[in-house]
Amino acid sequence: MEKFEKSFQIRSYECDKNGFLRVVTLMNILQDAADLSATSLGFGFDFCLQSGLAWVGTNYHVKINRMPKVHETIKIQTWPSGENKFMALRDFIVFDENDVEIMKATSQWVLVDVNRKRPVSLNQYLPEYMYIDERVLGTEFAKLEAHETADFSKEFEARFDDIDLNRHVNNAIYPLWAVESLPVDFHEKYLPSEIEISFKKECLCGERVQILTHVENNVSVHRISSLTEPKDLALLRVHWYEK
């Protein structure tokens, strides 16, 4: 079994006003690489569609040495990196054009029965599932806690364009909502160096969501919850560094 590799060129519409890769684009690129890798191994989107299944992300942990800029070409390596009865792990390394590591990430996924909306056993549906026993962060996905007080808040509505093939809000939208809750002058000064995400519940088209954000010592903690019905959708913790 080999690690999957894919190159991506950073396009102008994928960057912010200062030419840095947007967080939402970064998350989409990681998801794209994961999907292509899973497809090459026989358990990607087509397999899931035929089997009435879906891969659902539960956690991400991303460490960023630097954000790539417009017109750079980056290379992503990704591979299945572990499993237990219901959880599958997947790791990533991102290199720049000079093969210098600029990011690394680990993620956790469950295979879900679409009709019953329940996790299924990997051993039952993927008896030949294999992985490379190599972790880039070794994280155990520490439990994220929301703060009791919020420095900033913002509300959004889940748009039709936010919905993915699994018919709920795509994972990449949650960090977009989280960082958008911070003021413009914060974004002018800082870039993310570490992102931790814990996904809780699915969000459907038309739901109203609220983001409550607490910032302390260049770390922002974001609680994303539904205003349509009482449920937490995601918790995020982001470390920031000055540009």
Give the whole-angstrom CA distance, residue 223 versus residue 209: 10
Provide the token pair at 17: 């006003």
Going by C-alpha positions, the residue among 225, 204, 231 that lies closest to residue 213 is 225
Alpha helical stretches, state H, the chain: 23-40, 45-51, 122-125, 173-180, 184-189
First to last CA, the chain: 39
Residue 211's pLDDT is what? 97
* Domain 4-125 shares a fold with domain 152-242: yes
**In tens digits, what is the pLDDT along the chain, a chain of 243 residues?**
899 999 999 999 999 999 999 999 999 999 999 999 999 999 998 999 999 999 999 999 999 999 999 999 999 999 999 998 789 999 999 999 999 999 999 999 999 999 998 999 988 888 888 999 999 997 778 789 888 899 999 999 999 999 998 899 999 999 999 999 999 999 999 999 999 999 999 999 999 999 999 999 999 999 999 999 999 999 999 999 998
- Within 10 Å of residue 9's Cβ, how many Cβ atoms? 12
Give the whole-angstrom CA distance, residue 24 versus residue 232: 20
Q: Give the fold, CATH level 3, of 152-242.
A: Thiol Ester Dehydrase; Chain A (3.10.129)
Query: Dihedral of CA 16/22/25/30: which sign?
Result: positive
Class of domain 4-125: alpha beta
**Domains in the chain: boundaries:** 4-125, 152-242
**CA distances from residue 59 to 20, 187, 243 in whole angstroms, order as listed:** 24, 24, 27
Q: With H, G, I as helix, E, B as strand and everything else as coil, classify residue 4.
A: strand
Please report which helix (H) or strand (E) contains residue 6, including its range: strand 4-9
Residue 147's pLDDT is what? 87
Per DSSP, the residues of 68-96 read -BTT-EEEEEEEEEEE-SSEEEEEEEEE-
Contact 91, 82 (CB under 8 A): no
Residue 85's pLDDT is what? 79
Vertex 69: Cα angle to 93 and 176 (nearest 5): 75
Q: What is the pLDDT of residues 211-226, one digit of tens each?
A: 999 999 999 999 999 9
Residue 76's pLDDT is what? 98
